[in-house]
Amino acid sequence: MATLDGKKILVIATNYGVEQDEIVVPVEQLRERGATVTVAAQETGAIQTLVGDKDPGKTVDPDTTIGGVSAQGFDALVVPGGTINADTIRTDKQAVSLVAAFVAADKPVAAICHGPWTLVEAGVLPGRTITSFPSLQTDVRNAGAEWVDREVQVDGGIITSRNPDDLPAFVDAIESALTA
């Protein structure tokens, strides 16, 4: 039996600009560990990933739309980065509401790289300690959180990492949060 059998994880992204490894790696590895992973995008069409925010990467077919899901049916939420993805998704009221709903329900929310911008918008950071891509430090502090430079930071149900190099620790922390 895999460690995450029976766990349902939601991954949200825009249809353009998500950092390839920050969506592909968690989806693949969490599925390998037994989780049912649902990818929700803003629209039904394919998600065009980018590598390094500029070069086209793989396309990912979403299972549903952000508007078609709620926190109720899932055990955890993953918010990948990519500057374009994160800057766009933080203006999506449904995505921001999903983050807030997961936090309110004490369900793990994992955000990597620029993904924590959505946590800033959801107003869930006051009093917490998180990490992110370094350029978000001021935004994180202005949102009432302490920023630290670590490969993974877990504060309650909030799991954050800095960049694709941190993916092994990021995925392990998601697993740990769901098996604790």
CATH classification at residue 63: 3.40.50.880
As a whole number, mean pLDDT of residues 111-139 equals: 98
pLDDT tens-digit map of 166-176: 999 999 999 99
180/41: higher pLDDT = 41
Q: Is residue 1 part of a domain?
A: no
Q: Are 48 and 84 in contact (CB under 8 A)?
A: no
pLDDT reading at 1 higher than 90? no
Q: Please state the pTM of the whole predicted model.
A: 0.98
Q: How many structural domains are present in the chain?
A: 1
Asked, for residue 2, whether it belongs to a domain, the answer is no
In a domain, 62, yes or no: yes
Residues with Cβ within 8 Å of 55's Cβ and at least 6 positions away in sequence, in order, are: none
Q: What is the residue range of 83's domain?
A: 8-179
Answer whether residue 164 is part of any domain.
Answer: yes
Q: Is residue 172 part of a domain?
A: yes
Instruction: Give kind and range of the element (H or E) at residue 13.
Output: strand 8-13
Contact indicator for 174, 26 with CB cutoff of 8 Å: yes
Asked if residue 80 is part of any domain, the answer here is yes
Can you tell me the distance from the alpha carbon of 105 to that of 84, in angstroms, rounded to the nearest whole number?
A: 28
The answer on pLDDT for 143 being more than 80 is yes
DSSP 74: -
Residue 23 domain-assigned (yes or no): yes
Look over the chain and give the mean of its residue pLDDT values, rounded to a whole number.
97
Q: Would you please indicate which residues are annotated as catalytic (active-site) residues?
A: 113-114
